[in-house]
A and B are shown apart, each in its own frame.
Chain A
Amino acid sequence: MSGEFDALIVGAGGAGLYAALEASDAARQAAGGRPPRTAVLSKLLPMRSHTGAAQGGIGAALGNVEEDRPEWHAFDTVKGGDYLVDQGAAALLAEDAVRAVYDLEHRGLAFSRTDSGRIDQRRFGGHTRNFGEAPVKRSCYAADRTGHQILQTLYQQCIKNGVEFFDEWSVVDVILEGRRCGGVVALQLATGELHVFRARAVLFATGGFGRMFRVTSNAHANTGDGPAVLARRGVPLQDMEFYQFHPTGIRGLGILITEAVRGEGGILRNRQGERFMERYAPTLRDLAPRDMIARAIVSEIKSGNGMRGDGAIDDWVLLETAHLGRDVLEKKLPDITGFSRTYLGVDPVQAPIPVQPTAHYAMGGIPTDMDGRVVADAAGGTYEGLYAAGECACVSVHGANRLGTNSLVDLVVFGRRAGRHMARYVEGAGPAPAASEPEGQIRSTVERLRDGARGANAAALRSEMESTMMEGVGIFRNEQDLARAEQRMGELRGRWHEVRARDTSWRFNTELVGLLELRNLLDLSLLTAAAARRRTESRGAHARDDFPRRDDTRWLQHSLAWLHDGAVAFDSRPVDISTWAPKPRVY
């Protein structure tokens, strides 16, 4: 099968589905003319995407519970991102968040409610009243299943709009003719066949790539397919050095324990029983931004204040919850209460949850403008017919560190804008450029992977990548570790070419898909390590032991990284600081 589409969306999480809804709404409104043919390609079955795992909420200054303003939300986003956020984009995010939450509600999302029937809101890290005075209740939520509700609601609306889906297709290459996108090449899981999807416009919404790291909250599917495929075709990736560790993953497993636990009043304590965040962030304490809390936990652990007290990196601290009471835990936080019971045998109603930081979210990714168009160069030139949105994209509204709840806001605000722009674009665009045999290159790769020869052990390769990234490109970084990690990724990328699938069948060959995903992770690991090594300052989630201070003179700029064969080339883009001048970041 080889399809011709107007708008093709890769990824069926929140950003992709919202874009599909916008594009299909536009199609229904297209009076007279031929409605644009829109389709969504996903490597998973319906509603398995990782948006569904988001727990705590979606931030919007509705002011339902206490006074709030979009301007405060925008400022918090900028400060939370350590001033690497583009301020015009942050203002747009905060203003449009209000409309987006109402829109989701109108589409059926079952938010938790206040006694007066409004959408209920709760506190989240880094979200404050009046430019940092005190925490504010801004996170709109549906218990601790907000992402699940968003994913379901958007998919349900896509059913209503008759959106066409191609399930279990993995994108493996993109068709680029100069700066014009003409579609993608995808591998069908059921048959092992490669197909060309020609399209006038393509939106990448493939999500994150936390699987680079040993301990992560991310799904197995989060392998960065979109950014990696584009990087191999010469598209730059932006701010790859900024990777967020969420402070509270379940000890040893990395499963997320939402920040909403602290939003509802949960407290982090070290082995002395001390509420240590009081020392690191006296005003916001346990509701400081994630990068600061993750660093505080690691500092406590390193100084022997972890629960085991041996200073080893796999030590942990405790998240105290019992004082919240059974009602709050079981009604407002039912899933995380269940996770703790299932995986740790710990009942948060009675005992604290052992937690440690877990690799969680990529602030960096495919650079885009505010309409989702992919940026091609340092001057801000864009590709034609190529879009990105959601975690795989970098607008940038998260800068050097994302605030909790802003990932869901990003999905719905920029997924929608990209879908809308794409629908307009395809009306005037000519047919997709017809590259000859665009699947040729990937076909030879796939044929080699399943030629039945004995090859390098992929599991060992994956494991080395995960440990190298965890140890060398984690929460605290330095030149020596980063140089070693960068070199190691070079070697592992070389060894990947010797890997073979033991499974040589065509049908449902999940091992083959896994090898292609591993290649994506290795490419993104290299870009992340190299970008982290280049940035000789500390900002947001990027903390260098050897350069502990933020350096606005040299580094108040976005990085752009190109993958050139074995090497990484860099350039930079200015940051929009048009509203708030950078200040020291204290909480």
Chain B
Amino acid sequence: MKIILRITRSEGDGVSRDADYALEVDPTASILDALLRVKDEQDGTLSFRRSCGHGVCGSDAMRIAGVERLACKTLVRDVAAAENAVVTVAPLAHLPVQRDLMVDQGRFFERYRSVSPFLVARAPAGPAETEQTPKERAAFDDATSCILCASCWSACPVLDQDAAYLGPAALVSAARFVFDSRDAGLPPRRAVLDDPHGAWGCENHFTCTRVCPREIKVTKNINALKRALKP
């Protein structure tokens, strides 16, 4: 089918323009396939990130038809209903644009690092594995799926108002360790989480949960943190 990709392009200088690219694509092709074809066949300067191509590396999150998605995991038929459909493609929000669909994720990764996203062992390890029941393991399973694509960061309305907010992904990463039975949990992370810009910044808009390409129950994880923080 024929579609028109309407791509928000920019040189990272704050000035952006929409450029249209018409192409013939299979409805089951991904938006990443379509972008790669535009780059190969129409405009070599079109800039975007990609790597694994099947939704596990997190490189190609962008706003497609107004919603945060991974380009490789979004099929043309998911966003183009009819022949000659216009599909808008724009960079993630709340991060400075570097060029076209590439955004500077420095701030996003900084917040991630700030929650001590690594195991702080509760007890010294023995010679074999530290035991953990399937139930204990299940308690933080959802949070382990995060690929740090920054879709939630872009979609979160709190970040429109509060640029210092930790953001959903960093909070999910905190939850991943706080609820791990092997980890020391809240104490090493309380200062950063128990803060108006930490877990309490979340206003339960659920937009993060709706856009998460890994289907993580982001808001639920944040609310679990809030409950754990209450004295």
Contact A117 B57 (CB under 8 A): no
A577 — which chain B residues lie within 8 A by C-beta?
A: none
The CA-CA distance from A570 to B194 in the complex, in Å, is 63
Contact B118 A108 (CB under 8 A): yes
Contact B45 A503 (CB under 8 A): yes
Contact A501 B12 (CB under 8 A): no
Q: Answer yes or no: A131 CB below 8 A from chain B CBs.
A: no
B134 touches which of A115, A152, A160 (Cβ 8 Å):
A115
B53 — which chain A residues lie within 8 A by C-beta?
A: 219-220, 255
The CA-CA distance from A35 to B79 in the complex, in Å, is 53
A34 — which chain B residues lie within 8 A by C-beta?
A: none
A335 touches which of B50, B56, B57, B177 (Cβ 8 Å):
B56
Task: Known A50-B51, A511-B39; judge A105-B130 contact (CB<8 A).
Answer: yes
Count of B residues near A, CB < 8 Å? 56
Task: Known A50-B52, A459-B41, A501-B44; judge A110-B130 contact (CB<8 A).
Answer: no
Beta-carbon contacts of A495-535 to B below 8 Å, as 1s and 0s?
Answer: 00000011101011111000000000000000000000000
Contact B102 A508 (CB under 8 A): yes
Q: Answer yes or no: A45 CB below 8 A from chain B CBs.
A: yes
* Chain B contact residues: helix, strand, loop or mixed: loop
Contact A53 B45 (CB under 8 A): no
Q: Most chain-B Cβ atoms within 10 A of its Cβ — which of A110, A253, A338?
A: A110
Contact A511 B44 (CB under 8 A): yes
Q: Which residues, 139 to 185 on B, are CB-close (under 8 Å) to A?
A: 140-141, 144-145, 147-148, 177, 180, 182-183
**Distance in Å: Cβ of A479 to nearest Cβ of chain B:** 34
Task: Known A105-B129, A110-B180, A118-B129; judge A508-B99 contact (CB<8 A).
Answer: yes
B52 touches which of A105, A159, A219 (Cβ 8 Å):
A219
Q: Answer yes or no: A44 CB below 8 A from chain B CBs.
A: yes
Contact A342 B55 (CB under 8 A): yes
The CA-CA distance from A159 to B105 in the complex, in Å, is 16
Contact B134 A113 (CB under 8 A): yes
Contact A46 B148 (CB under 8 A): yes
Beta-carbon contacts of A201-226 to B below 8 Å, as 1s and 0s?
Answer: 00000000000000000011100000
A113 touches which of B45, B52, B55, B137 (Cβ 8 Å):
B137
Task: Known A157-B118, A342-B55; judge A46-B109 contact (CB<8 A).
Answer: yes
A113 — which chain B residues lie within 8 A by C-beta?
A: 132-134, 136-137
Q: Answer yes or no: B119 CB below 8 A from chain A CBs.
A: yes
Beta-carbon contacts of A181-194 to B below 8 Å, as 1s and 0s?
Answer: 00000000010000
**Distance in Å: Cβ of B56 to nearest Cβ of chain A:** 5
Q: Answer yes or no: B191 CB below 8 A from chain A CBs.
A: no
Contact A156 B129 (CB under 8 A): no
The CA-CA distance from A339 to B99 in the complex, in Å, is 30
A102 — which chain B residues lie within 8 A by C-beta?
A: 125, 127-129
Count of A residues near B, CB < 8 Å? 58
A507 — which chain B residues lie within 8 A by C-beta?
A: 11-12, 98-99
B40 — which chain A residues lie within 8 A by C-beta?
A: 459
B98 — which chain A residues lie within 8 A by C-beta?
A: 190, 507-508
The CA-CA distance from A142 to B51 in the complex, in Å, is 22
* Chain A contact residues: helix, strand, loop or mixed: loop
The CA-CA distance from A102 to B183 in the complex, in Å, is 16
**Distance in Å: Cβ of A46 to nearest Cβ of chain B:** 6
Contact B57 A48 (CB under 8 A): yes
Contact A145 B59 (CB under 8 A): no
The CA-CA distance from A47 to B183 in the complex, in Å, is 22
Q: Answer yes or no: B58 CB below 8 A from chain A CBs.
A: yes
A114 — which chain B residues lie within 8 A by C-beta?
A: 134
B117 — which chain A residues lie within 8 A by C-beta?
A: 156, 159
B132 — which chain A residues lie within 8 A by C-beta?
A: 113, 117
B47 touches which of A101, A110, A502, A508 (Cβ 8 Å):
A508
Contact B113 A159 (CB under 8 A): yes
Chain A residue nearest to B37 (CB atoms) is A459
Contact A47 B147 (CB under 8 A): yes
Contact B99 A255 (CB under 8 A): no
A503 — which chain B residues lie within 8 A by C-beta?
A: 44-45, 47
Q: Which residues, 102 to 139 on A, are CB-close (under 8 Å) to B?
A: 102, 105-108, 110-119
Q: Answer yes or no: A149 CB below 8 A from chain B CBs.
A: yes
The CA-CA distance from A48 to B105 in the complex, in Å, is 13
Q: Answer yes or no: A343 CB below 8 A from chain B CBs.
A: yes
Contact B50 A220 (CB under 8 A): yes
A50 — which chain B residues lie within 8 A by C-beta?
A: 51-52, 57
Contact A44 B59 (CB under 8 A): yes
Q: Which residues, 95 to 142 on B, are CB-close (under 8 Å) to A?
A: 98-99, 102, 105, 109, 113, 116-119, 121, 125, 127-134, 136-137, 140-141
Task: Known A108-B180, A501-B44, A507-B99; judge A145-B144 contact (CB<8 A).
Answer: yes
Contact B119 A53 (CB under 8 A): no
The CA-CA distance from A108 to B59 in the complex, in Å, is 24
The CA-CA distance from A511 to B182 in the complex, in Å, is 45
**Distance in Å: Cβ of B121 to nearest Cβ of chain A:** 7
**Distance in Å: Cβ of A457 to nearest Cβ of chain B:** 9
A101 — which chain B residues lie within 8 A by C-beta?
A: 129
The CA-CA distance from A449 to B37 in the complex, in Å, is 21
Contact B182 A112 (CB under 8 A): no
B73 — which chain A residues lie within 8 A by C-beta?
A: 342
Q: Which residues, 464 to 518 on A, are CB-close (under 8 Å) to B?
A: 501-503, 505, 507-511
Q: List 5 A-B contacts (CB under 8 A).
A: A44-B51, A114-B134, A255-B53, A345-B28, A503-B44
Sort A-B residue pairs by CB-CB distance and give the 8 closest, nearest first: A108-B119, A502-B44, A117-B131, A156-B118, A459-B40, A106-B125, A508-B99, A503-B45
Q: Give chain B's interface residues, CB within 8 Å of chain A.
A: 11-12, 28, 39-41, 43-45, 47-59, 73, 75, 98-99, 102, 105, 109, 113, 116-119, 121, 125, 127-134, 136-137, 140-141, 144-145, 147-148, 177, 180, 182-183
